[in-house]
Structure 1
Amino acid sequence: MGQDEKARKKSTELVVGVELAAVLPTDAKPWYRTRHLLLLNLALLMPLLSASAIGFDGSMMNGLQTLSQWRDYFDKPSGAVLGAMNAIFPVGKIVAVVPTAWLADRFGRKTPIWIGLLGLIGSTAIQASSHTVAQFIVGRFLMGFFTAFIGQPSPILIAELAYPTHRAKMTALYQTFFYCGSTLAAWSTYGSFRIHSTWSWRVPSVLQGAIPLIQLLGFVFVPESPRWLLANGKTSQAREILTKWHAGGDKTSVLVAYEMDQIATTVKLEQQARESSSYMDLVRTRPNQHRTLIAFIVGFFAQWNGASVVSYYLTMVLNTVGITKTSEQSLINGLLQIWNWIAAVVAGALMVDRLGRRTLFLTSVAGMLVSYIIWTALTARFVATLDEAMGRTVVAFIFIYYFFYDIAWAPLLVAYPVEIFEFGLRARGVAVMYGSTFAGLIIGQFVNPIAMGQIGWRYYIVFDCILAMLFVVIWFLFPETKGRTLEEIAEVFDGKSRKVGDVEADLKMPDSVSEQVEHVQGGSQKA
């Protein structure tokens, strides 16, 4: 074995662990030159786009608020009315959290996604054709409701279907696609603000249905989760999917044997521990309490770390520092979305294996805290002096703040909760994360415009305090999970010998697979 190959093997072991690295193909080509992996990752683009459908909404509502045509048509909504128009979207999502989790566990990860895509296309028509505030609000409620049907199971499907060495990056990339949708929305409103009719805001509303339509056409090529299939007695189908998509059709693949054994052992362990699964299992044991608390913190504070003030009320933030022209506000919104997407992918998602989840979270919150304090101080200075240059500097620090936000909260908002829950509770655990996210969003949608209107820049001090507290919480509560498979991550919470209820098992490589690995490695060394 050459030095380059040894270094590559060592690097792989750091990312996925020693046992999984031992069963990976020794002559593997890059994924983009390996047909079955290229096709798998192309198929996973469909569930990845679910985050884009969600991201479109926040940026679109920001953009619509900059349009005088939209404001005039709906009689200049502000305060509680504007809050209701924004908050009704996450209200719809929180209503759908429980039924979505049930559907994903009962009928498979793909079933709720199909329902959500069809529902979103219909909801788009209602919102885009609105003639009254009431119709607009109903359309947004339905958009939120069906968004949950695609947003909740999509990252779970990605995590359970992705190739083992790609899982962390693929699940981290999921939430970064939020900015794909937000960028499309921002630039569509920037391009349409010159239309002197209601089509200036109806065009972006219509485009909100474009992403679900693309997904609907491509989702037929996405396979079901092999973990769900195996857990529901469809072992042969699970093996066929892993063989086709992870091993390129090689029925003797050691990797597939290892994956099947790990999944089967985990599922059997969980099924022996409980006759039926319920939401109470999330808090029955200390490890699950730990997992659930993390899911709640990640979800709720993704909305209460200062980001939601800009995400949905950028117009009010810019007004505070003297940037009031529609063209300038729309341009800043569009540029911010591109900046967010680049930062989330390059500095966030692609770094999860190299730097780890805990490091990214701590770095993110520390950077957000420093930049938010400076942002607050500069805004206060602008209000006192009305210095135009000071206002521009505030915008620069908004971009800096979002860089630090994007390196952790964008890629790990969904990816971290998805991987810390064991299979039987994964859908419910993600439901907790989304439920707390929506709850935080709903509260923020009502509180933020009122607080910004009443106390202006002083409202930022609240988030300075929250970010300082959040750093301490993450330091003590968030463990590192890199270098492990989905099944092995349980060791971080349950210990080396996993225990669920009164059932205990040690998830080590089985002897049969170990013998195959030794045979393959021995053959390769002789060659």
Structure 2
Amino acid sequence: MQPSSSPSKFDNMPGDIERRPSVEEALDHEPLEKGWWYKPHVLKLNFLMLAPFVTMAAWGFDISMTNSLQSLEAFNERFDHPSGARLGFYGASTQLGGAFTIFVAPFIIQKLGRRAMCLIGSSIIIGMSIMQTFALNFNMFVAAKLLLGFGSTGVQIAAPVLITELAHPRQRERITAMYNTTIYVGLIAGAWIAFGTQDIPGDRSWQIPTILQVVLPAYQVLTIFLCPESPRWLVAKGQEEKARKILVKYHGGGQETPLVRAEMEAIMAGIEADATRIRFNKTDISALLSHKGNLHRILIATVVAVGSQCTGSGLISAYLPQILDNVGMTSTREKTLINGIINIWTWIIGLGAGYVIPKLSKRSLFLFSTSGMILTFVVWTALSAVYTQQGGYSYGIGVVAMMFIYNAFYGMCWLPLVVAYPLELATTKQRGILFSWMFFCLSMSTFAVNYINPIGLENIGWRYYIITIVFTLLILCLIYFFFVETKGLSLEEVATVFDGRENYDAAVSAVHAVEVKQAGEPEEQHVERKDER
């Protein structure tokens, strides 16, 4: 089924032994009492997962700071008013630095674990934030942003993988969907801090936001090893008992419940069914790319990464000041105020979407959201064109209104699912490298649009939006033809959408047979599955 298979310890085991319930069936029979959110062991797990969970908030703070500093007079005077290609490279520097993480992060994540990459990346962010604060010139500031992007992307690759593989299965879809919305916590904090420091005289107006960038990474450095490691990574490393203890403690409340047993069985079966061995050599990469299911995964991850950055969101997140200049809103107060309000608006939309996403069809949500973004951008472009030709403050207000509507469509889907959806598609062994590839595509596409955006806005104004509309139409077509539905499926069952069920079902039977043999359990104690799907 997959490339580079190796002999399994479950080979030659009988496959006809009656199996335990699936994870979904075990959840159906798990007593809710007052609700899972009241259970102490789940609350403790969620609290410990705050360490990786704040990753996107830290990234959002950097994006907001990159945006807001352009509006601060002291920053522009200190660094000779960067513009055009110079400004574009400044805006894209973190993405360029992040693109090189793909050559390091997968090895650290697979060799040392998800937490180790979080620690290393957060430490780099702290060091580079200090370097930015005391930069002697613009080149030194941008160099710090390049290295900061390397560290930040490493954390962004590892943290959601850890959360996805560790979260309680009743919460997984909701938590992973809400994970990326925390980027707006950072965007909001960064925008309002810049708004508050704009009147401070001298370099402190931009140095204060810059040095505050160390707060969340410092929290991660101090707490990441208090968070449990991924049980799936532990099983892949042959440490089944450590994985079982984590699941018993945080998913079973200290007991080996039917849910815990079903999870362990599914995890072990999924890893055994997945024969992928991914290393950066010609044989393994060729074998990986020869598998149709893997190519499908890579295509979807690439479309999600590129679509999240190249469908207009980068214009608002990184170059809002230039857009507002083009419609007559030129004061620092107007720019920083609108930046702060629009971030709060988008965060509220993203939080609401993250909460209801487990009940929705993800593919349909992608189609609806992207169509709405296209229609909004058409109106946005028309209003910008009329303002350029005729003037009129009301048209500028109309453009701002379209930004809010656009961000509503973007926030309801692309914001929560840009991380959650690709993570669901990969197997445990693939997740690190597939997510690294996604972030490579994301970083390079963000670098491209952030470098090109200011040049396009400066040279052709509102006509530049037409290019964005055409590209978003292309993304919509790719979604329609290639995206798959994952609603209601466990991580291991999502893999069967791409790889088929035969190997997975055989591995489930074999894993269960081993556990029955080791435990000496009579077969009649096991509950028959409701369906064999």
Instruction: Give TM-score, length-normalised by structure 2.
Output: 0.90
Residues in 1 aligned to 2:277 and 2:528: alpha-carbon distance in whole angstroms: 38
The letter of the residue matching 1:308 is G
Residues in 2 aligned to 1:451 and 1:197: alpha-carbon distance in whole angstroms: 32
Deviation track 1:137-167 (CA, whole Å, cap 9, x = no partner) reads: 1111121011022111100000100001111
Q: How far did 1:22 drift?
A: 2.1
Equivalenced residues, count: 497
Q: Which residue of 2 aligns with 1:290?
A: 296
Q: Which residue of 2 aligns with 1:23?
A: 26
Q: How far did 1:400 drift?
A: 0.3
Deviation track 1:84-109 (CA, whole Å, cap 9, x = no partner) reads: 11221111111112201110011111
Q: Which residue of 2 aligns with 1:357?
A: 362
Q: Which residue of 1 aligns with 2:9?
A: none
Alignment RMSD? 2.1
Q: Would the aligned equivalents of 2:181 and 2:347 in 1 still touch at CA under 8 Å?
A: yes
Equivalence map 1:495-506=2 (5 Å): 495-498=500-503, 505=506
Does the alignment pair 1:335 with 2:341? yes
Does the alignment pair 1:305 with 2:306? no
Deviation track 1:63-94 (CA, whole Å, cap 9, x = no partner) reads: 11111111111100001111111221111111
Instruction: Give TM-score, length-normalised by structure 1.
Output: 0.91
Deviation track 1:240-270 (CA, whole Å, cap 9, x = no partner) reads: 000001001103x111111111111121222
Q: How far did 1:191 drift?
A: 0.5
Question: For 1:172, which of 177, 186, 189 is the aligned residue?
Answer: 177
Change beyond 3 A, Cα 1:248–1:207:
same
Question: For 2:486, which of 462, 481, 488 is the aligned residue?
Answer: 481
Q: Would the aligned equivalents of 1:281 and 1:288 in 2 still touch at CA under 8 Å?
A: no
Equivalence map 1:438-477=2 (5 Å): 438-477=443-482
Change beyond 3 A, Cα 1:417–1:282:
farther
Does the alignment pair 1:181 with 2:190? no
Deviation track 1:109-157 (CA, whole Å, cap 9, x = no partner) reads: 1111111111111111001111201110111112101102211110000
- Which structure ranks higher in relative contact order (CA pairs < 8 Å, sequence separation ≥ 6)? 2
Structure 2 unaligned segments of length 5 or more: list them. 1-20
Q: How far did 1:290 drift?
A: 0.4
Does the alignment pair 1:265 with 2:274? no
Change beyond 3 A, Cα 1:515–1:248:
farther
Residues in 2 aligned to 1:65 and 1:445: alpha-carbon distance in whole angstroms: 14
Residues in 2 aligned to 1:430 and 1:505: alpha-carbon distance in whole angstroms: 27
Change beyond 3 A, Cα 1:134–1:467:
same
Where 1:487 maps in the other structure, the secondary structure is helix
Where 1:137 maps in the other structure, the secondary structure is helix
Residues in 2 aligned to 1:341 and 1:226: alpha-carbon distance in whole angstroms: 31
Residues in 1 aligned to 2:277 and 2:131: alpha-carbon distance in whole angstroms: 44
Does the alignment pair 1:125 with 2:115? no
Structure 1 unaligned segments of length 5 or more: list them. 1-17, 522-527
Does the alignment pair 1:380 with 2:382? no
Q: Would the aligned equivalents of 1:496 and 1:506 in 2 still touch at CA under 8 Å?
A: no
The letter of the residue matching 2:244 is R
Equivalence map 1:205-244=2 (5 Å): 205-244=210-249
Q: Which residue of 2 aligns with 1:149?
A: 154
Q: Which residue of 2 aligns with 1:518?
A: 527
Question: For 1:87, which of 82, 85, 92 is the aligned residue?
Answer: 92
Does the alignment pair 1:55 with 2:26? no
Q: Would the aligned equivalents of 2:91 and 2:450 in 1 still touch at CA under 8 Å?
A: yes
Q: Would the aligned equivalents of 2:425 and 2:494 in 1 still touch at CA under 8 Å?
A: yes
Deviation track 1:269-327 (CA, whole Å, cap 9, x = no partner) reads: 224x6596844454221111000011111111211101111111101111111111100
Question: For 1:140, which of 138, 141, 145 is the aligned residue?
Answer: 145
Residues in 1 aligned to 2:240 and 2:507: alpha-carbon distance in whole angstroms: 22
Question: For 1:317, which of 323, 329, 333 is the aligned residue?
Answer: 323
Q: Would the aligned equivalents of 2:177 and 2:419 in 1 still touch at CA under 8 Å?
A: yes
- Identical pairs, percent: 35
Residues in 2 aligned to 1:47 and 1:26: alpha-carbon distance in whole angstroms: 27
Residues in 2 aligned to 1:229 and 1:360: alpha-carbon distance in whole angstroms: 34
Residues in 2 aligned to 1:283 and 1:338: alpha-carbon distance in whole angstroms: 42
Q: Which residue of 1 aligns with 2:8?
A: none
